[in-house]
């Protein structure tokens, strides 16, 4: 098939959250945008699995940093509230330990401090207040200079923060581990374990990740939102908004290669052999796939993330069933007996822990655990309620074959650990499992790593590539690039890719994309 030449078209490879936000940002600036997705629907890592009680989110389940979507959707003349049914959670999560203790954290700092005082003691409650204040300070320092800005190096970050704010720069604690920093706030090992879990939000170990990740506490305090229909509804809304702006999304259209002409990205070749020409390409996928040549021999300057440097993978189980014991909340964490042993098993011995921490999402319950009876499959329905469990695992899905019996053992460990914490989970039918090998097939060349490079050591965040690759015309978006993993950060990466592409193209005489103004644009 003869290639169609269109210099002013941008092809986005991948309809994950980053690809969709890049498409929105580009279309709002006047570009013609075509999004190509290999799977049946948009979403990327935002995906669902079917259960007898209905589909359940089997990827990200937590919606935070709503301001990111406020900003992105404003460029399209809309808001998250106009596109989604969302409610801010008063209870952030319920936490349980094998010793029978439980603790809820709340969106209100003082309410959480009172709960911690009753759970532990006043000293740890005061430590929590100091911890929240420090987390807020770190976030304020990094929001404009790092999170929402183009990728800086360490010296550029220092320059952005400014010499006058040197104390704020030092307060980031890049050379301390999260675990050690938590020891200055909490004497109760259970609380250290609870807040150390924030390292796993970017696929890392609290014993190796920098203390800077304390900022996650502030992100949660600023708002955890429940989305009716789950995170899949968010992906669908982003796709709907993109299409209203004129973006064309073609699913079941795998891309075989990025084509190069004249030393720059010039379009893509599809799996059926046809070619689509474009003035630029945005790749929404893991950079290891590009570096490994999965889309051709491209001069990107990228290198695959070495297996020891990969972030966490996971074993997940989606099922319909019942929960007996204490009442789970929408988000519940069931902690392991020994946190250090858990991460030693994953990152050093490369095995799933014998007693893993279990994350449970119960989408048919509200933030406090009450049944959401407006849902057809609320708790008590014949098939049971929808449930989703996740345990952390090493990203070795490309180095060890799948083993059905091993998956059964992982399920048994998951259910057993939940029971140790006082929650008996009873699947009504065999759960739909996803293993590191499955994640490798879904996201090639990653080994199943879900967050790109692990944030181990102070330089790790600066090793993520920025929006522009070394190949002119090829731009990068997704959780493996700056500013990092997670739904809002991936969304920001797509937005930053659109900004960089537009800035690069604005100087060319043949096409000057319109600036965003009030959600409308003209070419």
| Residue ranges of the chain assigned to CATH 3.50.50.60 | 9-84+230-303+459-506
The pLDDT mean for the chain works out to: 91
Question: Which contiguous run of DSSP H or E holds residue 218?
Answer: helix 215-221
The residue that leads in pLDDT, 326 or 151, is: 326
DSSP secondary structure string, 252-315? S--EEEEEEETTEEEEEEETTS-EEE-SEEEEES-HHHHHTTBTBS------PPPGGGB--EEE
Look at residue 5 and tell me whether its pLDDT is greater than 70. no
Query: For the segment 114-173, what is each residue's pLDDT rounded down to a tens digit?
Result: 999 999 999 999 999 999 999 999 888 888 887 887 877 765 766 666 644 545 544 566
Look at residue 291 and tell me whether its pLDDT is greater than 80. yes
CATH topology of domain 9-84+230-303+459-506: FAD/NAD(P)-binding domain (3.50.50)
Look at residue 379 and tell me whether its pLDDT is greater than 70. no
Look at residue 520 and tell me whether its pLDDT is greater than 90. no
Look at residue 51 and tell me whether its pLDDT is greater than 70. yes
Per DSSP, 340 falls in state: H
pLDDT of residue 516: 32
Contact 454, 411 (CB under 8 A): no
Look at residue 474 and tell me whether its pLDDT is greater than 70. yes
pLDDT of residue 401: 81
- 445 vs 466: CA distance, rounded Å: 19
Q: Could you give the C-alpha distances from 450 to 152, 440, 445, in angstroms and in order?
A: 23, 9, 11
Tokens coding 63: 């919606």
Look at residue 80 and tell me whether its pLDDT is greater than 50. yes
Query: For the segment 343-367, what is each residue's pLDDT rounded down to a tens digit?
Result: 999 999 999 999 999 999 999 999 9
Look at residue 86 and tell me whether its pLDDT is greater than 90. yes
pLDDT of residue 155: 57
pLDDT of residue 160: 67
Average confidence (pLDDT) over 397-423: 94
Look at residue 301 and tell me whether its pLDDT is greater than 50. yes
pLDDT of residue 458: 78
Average confidence (pLDDT) over 424-431: 96
- 196 vs 180: CA distance, rounded Å: 10
CA 95 to chain centre: 21
Torsion of CA 32, 38, 40, 41, to 10 degrees: -50
User: For the chain, first and last CA: distance in Å?
Assistant: 29
Look at residue 2 and tell me whether its pLDDT is greater than 60. no
pLDDT of residue 268: 98
pLDDT of residue 48: 97
Contact 358, 390 (CB under 8 A): yes
pLDDT of residue 139: 87
Where is average pLDDT lowest: 31-40, 117-126, 141-150, 474-483? Answer: 141-150
- 347 vs 496: CA distance, rounded Å: 31
Look at residue 523 and tell me whether its pLDDT is greater than 50. no
Average confidence (pLDDT) over 68-81: 97
With cut-offs at 50, 70 and 90, classify the pLDDT of residue 403.
confident
Contact 211, 199 (CB under 8 A): no
Strand ranges across the sheet with 255-261? 255-261, 264-270, 275-277
Look at residue 277 and tell me whether its pLDDT is greater than 50. yes
Look at residue 225 and tell me whether its pLDDT is greater than 50. yes
pLDDT of residue 91: 98
- State the number of CA atoms in the 13 A half-sphere of 457 facing the CB: 9
pLDDT of residue 146: 79
Contact 18, 479 (CB under 8 A): yes
- 134 vs 144: CA distance, rounded Å: 17
Average confidence (pLDDT) over 28-45: 97
């Amino acid at each position: 098939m003869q290639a169609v030449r269109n210099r002013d078209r941008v092809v986005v490879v991948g309809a994950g959250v980053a690809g969709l936000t890049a498409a929105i940002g580009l279309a709002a600036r006047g570009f013609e945008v075509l999004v190509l997705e290999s799977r049946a629907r948009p979403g990327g890592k935002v995906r669902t699995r079917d259960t007898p009680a209905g589909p359940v989110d089997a990827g990200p389940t937590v919606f935070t940093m709503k301001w990111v979507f406020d900003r992105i959707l404003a460029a399209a003349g809309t808001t998250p509230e106009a596109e989604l049914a969302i409610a801010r959670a008063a209870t952030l999560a319920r936490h349980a330990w094998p010793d029978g203790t439980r603790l809820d954290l709340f969106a209100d700092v003082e309410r959480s401090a009172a709960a911690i005082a009753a759970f532990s003691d006043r000293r740890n409650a005061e430590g929590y207040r100091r911890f929240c204040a420090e987390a807020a300070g770190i976030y304020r320092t990094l929001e404009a200079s790092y999170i929402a800005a183009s990728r800086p190096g360490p010296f550029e970050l220092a320059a952005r923060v400014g010499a006058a704010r040197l104390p704020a720069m030092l307060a980031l604690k890049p050379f301390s581990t999260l675990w050690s920093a938590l020891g200055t706030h909490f004497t109760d090992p259970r609380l250290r374990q609870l807040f150390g879990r924030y390292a796993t939000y970017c696929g890392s170990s609290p014993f190796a990740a920098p203390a800077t990740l304390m900022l996650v506490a502030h992100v949660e305090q600023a708002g955890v939102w429940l989305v009716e229909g789950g995170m899949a509804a968010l992906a669908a809304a982003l796709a709907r908004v993109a299409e209203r702006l004129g973006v064309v999304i073609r699913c079941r259209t795998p891309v075989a290669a990025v084509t190069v002409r004249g030393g720059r990205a010039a379009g893509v070749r599809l799996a059926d052999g046809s070619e689509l020409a474009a003035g630029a390409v945005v790749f929404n996928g893991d950079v290891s796939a590009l570096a490994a040549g999965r889309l051709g021999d491209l001069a990107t300057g990228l290198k695959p993330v070495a297996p020891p440097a990969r972030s966490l993978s996971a074993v997940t189980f989606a099922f319909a069933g019942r929960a007996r014991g204490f009442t789970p909340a929408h988000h519940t964490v069931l902690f392991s007996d020994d946190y250090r042993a858990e991460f030693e098993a994953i990152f050093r011995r490369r095995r799933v822990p014998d007693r893993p921490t279990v994350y449970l999402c119960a989408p048919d319950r509200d933030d406090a655990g009450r049944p959401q009876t407006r849902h057809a499959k609320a708790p008590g329905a014949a098939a049971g309620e929808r449930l989703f469990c996740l345990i952390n695992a090493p990203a070795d899905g490309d180095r060890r074959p799948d083993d059905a019996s091993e998956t059964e053992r992982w399920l048994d460990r998951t259910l057993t650990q939940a029971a140790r914490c006082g929650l008996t989970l009873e699947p009504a039918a065999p759960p739909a499992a996803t293993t590191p090998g499955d994640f490798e097939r879904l996201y090639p060349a990653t080994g199943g790593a879900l967050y790109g490079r692990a944030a181990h050591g102070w330089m790790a965040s600066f090793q993520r590539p920025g929006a522009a690759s070394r190949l002119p015309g090829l731009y990068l978006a997704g959780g493996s690039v700056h500013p990092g993993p997670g739904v809002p950060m991936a969304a920001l990466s797509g937005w930053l890719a659109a900004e960089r592409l537009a800035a690069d193209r604005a100087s060319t005489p043949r096409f000057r994309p319109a600036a965003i103004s009030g959600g409308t644009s003209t070419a």
